[in-house]
Amino acid sequence: MMDACDDPGRFSRRAVLGVGAGMVAATQVGTRAYADENGQDQAPPDVDSDRYVDVQLLNITDFHGYLSPTDVDGDNLVNDGGVPKVVGGAAYLAAHLKRLRAGRRNSIFFSAGDNFAGWPFTVDAHANEPTIEVLNALGLQFSTVGNHELDQRFPEYLVDHIERGEPIGVPGRDSSFPDSRGRQFGGADFSFYSSDVVLDETGLTVRPPYNIVQVDAGNGRKLPIGFIHLTVTSTATGSTSYQPGMRNLDHLETVNRIAAELKAKGVRTIVVNMHEGGAAGRDINALTDPTGPCFTLARAATPDIAAFVTGHWHAAFNGMVPGPDGVPRPVVEAGCHGQMINEITLKLDRRTGAVVPSLTTSKNHANTHEIPPDPRVGKIVNYWVDQGVRRFQTPLAKQSADLTRAPSPLGESAMGNLAADVLLWEAHRQGDEVDLALFATAPRKGSVALAGDGLLYDAGRNAADTAGRILFGEAWKAFGYGNPVLGVTVTGAAILTALQDQWKVSGAGVSTSPLAVSANVSYEVDLAAAPGSRVDPASVKINNQVLEPAQSYRVAALAYTLIAADGTTALADFTDAVRHERDREVFIAYLRAHPTIDPPPLTRVRPAGGTGEGSR
């Protein structure tokens, strides 16, 4: 049998050799998965068990820390052959995994990435430790690095904290919380891999590029199965995962190169486990008009790859795509947020270790609520839900008046100005002597890092709230969406253009997208002037010095703004990026350092002489 630790629900890291990638699997679309009366997928009864080794691959993707069922964007419903099914929840996931694993000698459970760094407050505000405790309990053996696994500083977060269990910040306050058993966080019982995210300085991958799992072939023999791991190619330059000093390699070249390396090591069964996917209709066990990078790769990658397990697109499909030799290969994706488990059953030639494609089956199993939830995992989930309530209610700071998002006629708001000041403070705290900070308070497109009405003085609905008190949860939800603060270098001309671009002609009118500036910046606006020339260049001052268009300046802003994801295009040619902490953690730290917050005056943007409030 596969190596296991004392806990039968958890596999030992010894079962996974951290040297590289690859696990081969092939499945037939249009061929049903064989199942017994209990729904357990099994091989055809006429297959010669003396000739073949049975291997079960179970995978999930894009869990994003959704320990409890969620109805976000309708993710609690899936279409299984035209039948809608209610799905989700880690306790149900554990129960389905137990049933699928029953009686299987070689069962391998892994993830295609984005296990955490999602949106549930409970897990995000506890440094993703609740998610890791649950995945450990589920017996996850390894995972691809998804883009969200790199949402925080590397290697401090993914390697030191998540994998090794080392604290970040102040233990017990920022991380290293007691888990459901009262033990301090000890890290993941599984490892992360990526073959295409590399460090610019060394060219080495940020995590091992592949891993090899040895499966039991009987009579003391082992057969290797290799897993090549890919991370979405936009990771190093994406908004939440922006990582200066990293870059992504081409997926096709990387897969072909590593497959050849594995083959030279004697690995005959190779699977690509990739955090990149596609779309193929709404039926979780079909392919309808498949499109996307995973299908492009599947059509072109070396025939030595037997299957493609995908993610990132939050899609669900299960089907076959011909490779360059015309032989169909399975391409599967298991949705998101704990919606389902994908199962691939492989038959390996006992003599050669090669997979037999014609005997491979695959199925997406909906994580339904038709069976009792697993009590052990349910207890873990309930513990962290309760901890989330307590975390939300923790008093953090005080405010002397409302901090609202309501804009002045010139676009200033108390919450926007505060946000810009927070970004400036963060850069300076990290030793990055930026000259100013910019913050998009109402972007033309995409996400905004401010939520609701801001932070209001009056007591809210939470029983722990009082007038003037800022609760941890209120602050967490009011500012940020998991985006890193960057310090970058831009020209004065770029800054001026960004300020001018707050007003643009839109149809018959003018649209406004305010850009808050830090307290050390001021300028004048003539709302009667045409968009593109409303800001007087001579009035723009940084630390009381007039902005020089040809001069270089250091600016602090969110990555989302700097890469133009929110429509702010003027700053996209920045250089010398330095990554700091994420917006939410930065805001919490700022409030701890400033226990009483006064609304910033709305005096950073002044009307040009005689314009008054003008027209907007």
pLDDT digits (tens, 9 = 90+) for 143-184: 999 999 999 999 999 999 999 999 999 999 999 999 999 999
Edge-to-edge strand ranges of the sheet holding 395-399: 469-471, 395-399, 596-597
Q: Which CATH architecture has domain 13-386?
A: 4-Layer Sandwich (3.60)
pLDDT band at 546 (very low <50, low <70, confident <90, very high): very high
What is the pLDDT averaged over residues 233-240? 94
Sign of the torsion formed by the C-alpha atoms of 215, 218, 220 and 223:
negative
465-511 pLDDT per residue, tens: 999 999 999 999 999 999 999 999 999 999 999 999 999 998 889 99
Identify the pLDDT of residue 135: 98
400 to 403, 460, 467: CA distances (angstroms): 9, 15, 9
Q: Supply the pLDDT for residue 19.
A: 30
What are the pLDDT digits (tens) for 242-272? 999 999 999 999 999 999 999 999 999 999 9
Q: Is the pLDDT of residue 2 over 60?
A: no
What is the per-residue pLDDT for 74?
80
Residue 314: other Cβ atoms inside 10 A: 18
Chain mean position to CA 448: 17
User: What per-residue confidence (pLDDT) applies to 72?
Assistant: 75
Phi and psi angles of residue 127, each rounded to the nearest 5 degrees, phi first: 55, 30
pLDDT grade, residue 29 (50/70/90)?
A: very low
Nearest Cα residue to 91 out of 340, 342, 336, 379:
379
Asked if residue 13 has pLDDT above 50, the reply is no
Residue with the two structure tokens 């102040």: 170
In whole angstroms, what is the distance from residue 289 CA to residue 308 CA?
17
The domain spans of the chain are 13-386, 395-607
How many other C-beta atoms are found inside a 10 Å radius of the C-beta of residue 77? Answer: 13
209 preceded by a cis bond (ω within 30 of 0): no
CA 149/CA 241 separation, integer angstroms: 8
Query: How far is the C-alpha of 159 from the C-alpha of 188, rounded, in Å?
Result: 10
Instruction: Judge whether 547 and 495 are in contact, CB under 8 Å.
Output: yes
Task: Over range 288-313, report the average pLDDT.
Answer: 97
- Domain 395-607: CATH superfamily, name plus number: 5'-Nucleotidase, C-terminal domain (3.90.780.10)
Q: What is the mean pLDDT of residues 48-67?
A: 94
Element (H, E) at 387: helix 375-392
Segment (H or E) for 99: helix 90-101
SS3 (DSSP) at 302: coil
Residues 6+ apart with CB under 8 A from 517: 417, 420, 436, 437, 438, 499, 523, 604, 605
Which distant-in-sequence residues (6+ apart) come within 8 Å of 35 by Cβ? 41, 42
Q: What SS3 string covers 322-374? A: ECCCCCEEEEEEECCCCCEEEEEEEEEECCCCCECHHHCEEEEEECECCCCCC
Q: Which residues contact 58 (CB under 8 A, 6 or more apart)?
A: 97, 100, 101, 107, 108, 109, 110, 341, 342, 343
Which letter does DSSP use for residue 288 in this model? Answer: S
This prediction's pTM: 0.91
Please report which confidence band the pLDDT of residue 117 belongs to, taking 50, 70 and 90 as the band edges: confident
| Beta strand residue intervals within 168-252, DSSP E | 191-193, 197-199, 210-218, 221-231, 246-248
Torsion of CA 309, 311, 296, 195, to 10 degrees: -70
pLDDT confidence of residue 90? 98
Average pLDDT over residues 339-349: 96
Q: Is the pLDDT of residue 5 over 70?
A: no
With cut-offs at 50, 70 and 90, classify the pLDDT of residue 47: low
Question: What are the residue ranges of helices labelled H in 393-471?
Answer: 414-429
Cβ contacts of 46 within 8 Å, gap of 6 or more:
none
pLDDT at 44 over 70: no
Helical residues (DSSP H) of 159-242, grouped into ranges: none
Distance from C-alpha of 475 to C-alpha of 396, rounded to nearest angstrom: 8
Calculate the CA dihedral of residues 586, 589, 594, 596 and round it to 10 degrees.
90
